[in-house]
Chains A and B, each alone.
Chain A
Amino acid sequence: MASITLQNIVKEYDDGFPAVNDVSIDIEDGEFVILVGPSGCGKSTLLRMIVGLEDITSGDLLIGGDRVNDKPPRERNLAMVFQNYALYPHLSVFENIAFPMRLAKGKFTQEQVKEKVERAAGMLELTEHLQRKPANLSGGQRQRVAMGRAIVRDANAFLFDEPLSNLDAKLRGQMRAEISQLQRSLNTTSVYVTHDQTEAMTLGDRVAVLKKGVLQQIASPRELYEQPANLFVAGFIGSPSMNFLPGTVSEGSTGSTVLSTPLGDIELPEQVAAAGREKEIVLAGIRPEFFEEASQVEESRRGRGSVFSAELSHVEWLGNEQYGYVRYQNDPRVADALANLAADMDADELRTQLVVALDAMSRIRGGDTAELWVDTRRIHLFDPATGENLTRDAEAGAELTRLAAEDRRRDRERAAAHAD
């Protein structure tokens, strides 16, 4: 077990393309860090540099305080789970799991190997499959064999390269939970690469969001969600995505400050408004669940938000909630910024429609005009030119990440107590 430190890591390919650009991350001992981003953001390259399968162009990589830039993978004592599992097809499950120990000649006796493999197999529910070949296993079982191979080694850290992307949705949820519990109980430093923001949010102690090789923000999932550093992070984290509504901050008729949007004026609390007052135009980041049907909002909360009316084009009912969609005319001044954002996120062109989370009981249908209430205190304003979050409260964000670290410490103590 060890900490992993990345200092100004750069990966430049022969053609001068920087796949990873000046990334610095401190990963504490026992921490679970997720590298997330759209395809081509350099997350896998970064992971492969940590494990030693890719050369580091410049910067320092420290594992447990030792610089390992020039060490081959076998000397770094890291275990990796590959996207396609990379099981050895000619070996049985038992031998697959035992493979790392067989390579460390003389270090383990036959009995030790047997005992360790059987313990790992027991943990991963593979005991009855030990004599089978990988070809005869299901996707989830292969995944578990790959994890078994990682955990028998007492490695310094686990590295996961999109381990769940080949599984179907149901199995993915199940394996996600298993990986999370396994990591907590073993308390091994882990780095996990994914493009799936749900995996990132559910698994990580901290999540590093990358875009085109540049680290955008590294923070606890809650901080990313509540206090995103910029437009990209805000758009990437959360499902459905945050709405970005163009608007101008101005003084309203009643003396309050309002945001004039294509959907009408939304009254803003002073601290939000202050951040956007200087700008000619801003993008208001509003998550779908910030909205509510006005009639459902209790009187006491009503004052903390603003009400406007809009015609829903259609609604989607999902059982536990429903989403309403509102079309609006986009402002040409932000069209470029939004098109770039869509390209960065690997998405199709962002639709100029607002997604609104409604109560599952609501009888509103497409075509109805609804009175919508929005929680204006949680709105973030972004500068369309730079993407910067103008309303970010760094202190509140840091507090969220600090709380997450505390949670992790508690988890670890509980796991340790459990083990005794």
Chain B
Amino acid sequence: MNPKTKSRLGWTVVTVLVLGYSLFPVAAIFATSFKTPGDLGNQTFLPTSWTWQNYEMIFVGDAQGLFLSALRNSIGIALIATFIAVVLATLCAYAIARLDFPGKRIILGAALAVSIFPVISVVTPLFNLWRTIGLYDTWPGLIIPYLSLTLPISIWTLSAFFRQIPWDLEQAAQVDGATQWQAFRKAIVPLAAPGVFTTAILAFFIAWNDFVYGISLTSTEAARPVPAALAFFTGASQFEEPTGAISAAAIVVTIPVVVLVLLFQRRIVSGLTQGAVKG
């Protein structure tokens, strides 16, 4: 065996191991979501008979009210939080990458500090504050804390991205007759688009996956997102675990994530700046 095929074989083994390790739980939940209630405890991986029963339950059955409203909340809140975070972070990161102003390092440092601050320590005071000012169990009541999660990472990734874009392009645009804003929009934004998309996806996932804020700052279907709602599923009787329904719901909420990655995979093309300057 020559060294090349050997290394290729090695990489294949490693890849399969990693894929198996990370995808097995997903596969298990996927299989579970198609099991009948009687099948749940039988300790086999695949269901003995495939059924849509669990999906029916969350979309049209008993759990419908709980799940559909939660899905709506999740999509709405995550999208709004992502949108606000990306717009703010784009402007902020642009300023950080391009302008020299006092406090630049403080902004980056504070963003980092906020992102490593444990969520659980904020949640109790926030709970009290939100109840006092009437934000408890509302969409803004979740969007605002989600911004604290999504903004820092957006600012960091975007400012790293903006730094790669040659300054000269913008100056060239200005010399060519553009205002500062036009230079930003026509020369920088098209180049930054892949970075902005990447950031948006990251931010969306963070908001989409949050559980702690979701369960602590909501009490009804008015704002409760899916990860929190899953905990409120009930079985057919109090002695029955709603495992099947939870699995089905988990698969449903995974789908947007997978779709997003597949859709934007192409947009996350680096190397768009190639040729702007001699590399």
Contact = CB atoms under 8 A, between A and B. Distances in A.
Interface string B268-279: 000011111110
A72 B174 contact: yes
B187 interface: yes
A89 B273 contact: yes
Max chain A CB contacts within 10 Å: which of B168, B171, B173, B177? B177
A148 to B, nearest CB: 12
B166 interface: yes
Interface in A69-95: 72-74, 77-80, 82-90
A99 interface: yes
A166 B275 CA distance: 13
B174 A84 contact: no
Contacts of A85: 276-278
Contacts of B51: none
Contacts of B186: 88, 99, 103
B166 A86 contact: yes
A84 B277 contact: yes
A100 B169 contact: no
Contact of A86 (B171, B177, B179, B274): B171
A135 B278 CA distance: 9
B221 to A, nearest CB: 45
A133 B275 contact: yes
Contacts of A73: 171, 174-175
A84 B275 contact: no
Max chain A CB contacts within 10 Å: which of B169, B172, B273, B278? B172
B175 A78 contact: yes
A137 interface: yes
Nearest to B178: A103
Contacts, number: 88
B177 A51 contact: no
B173 A142 contact: no
Contact of A135 (B168, B179, B187, B274): B274
Contacts of A90: 190-191, 272
Contacts of B179: 72, 74
A135 to B, nearest CB: 3
Interface in B90-124: none
Name the interface size band of chain A: 20 to 34
A89 B276 CA distance: 5
Contacts of B254: none
A100 B178 CA distance: 8
Nearest to B278: A166
Contacts of A103: 173, 176-178, 182, 186
A86 B169 contact: yes
B277 A53 contact: no
Max chain A CB contacts within 10 Å: which of B173, B175, B187? B175
Interface string B26-63: 00000000000000000000000000000000000000
Contacts of A84: 166, 168, 276-278
B177 A104 contact: yes
B169 A134 contact: no
B137 to A, nearest CB: 45
A87 B174 contact: no
A135 B169 CA distance: 14
Contacts of B177: 74, 77, 100, 103-104, 153
Contact of B171 (A53, A89, A149): A53
A139 interface: yes
Nearest to A53: B171
A53 B174 contact: yes
Interface string A115-137: 00000000000000000011111
A86 B273 contact: no
Contacts of B276: 84-89, 134-135
A73 B186 CA distance: 16
Q: 10 closest Cβ contacts across the A-B interface?
A: A135-B275, A84-B277, A86-B172, A86-B168, A89-B276, A100-B176, A134-B275, A103-B177, A90-B190, A74-B177
20 contacts: A52-B175, A53-B171, A74-B178, A77-B177, A79-B176, A80-B175, A84-B276, A85-B276, A86-B276, A86-B277, A88-B173, A88-B190, A89-B274, A90-B190, A100-B176, A103-B173, A133-B275, A135-B275, A153-B176, A166-B278
Interface of A: 51-53, 72-74, 77-80, 82-90, 99-100, 103-104, 133-137, 139, 142, 149, 153, 166
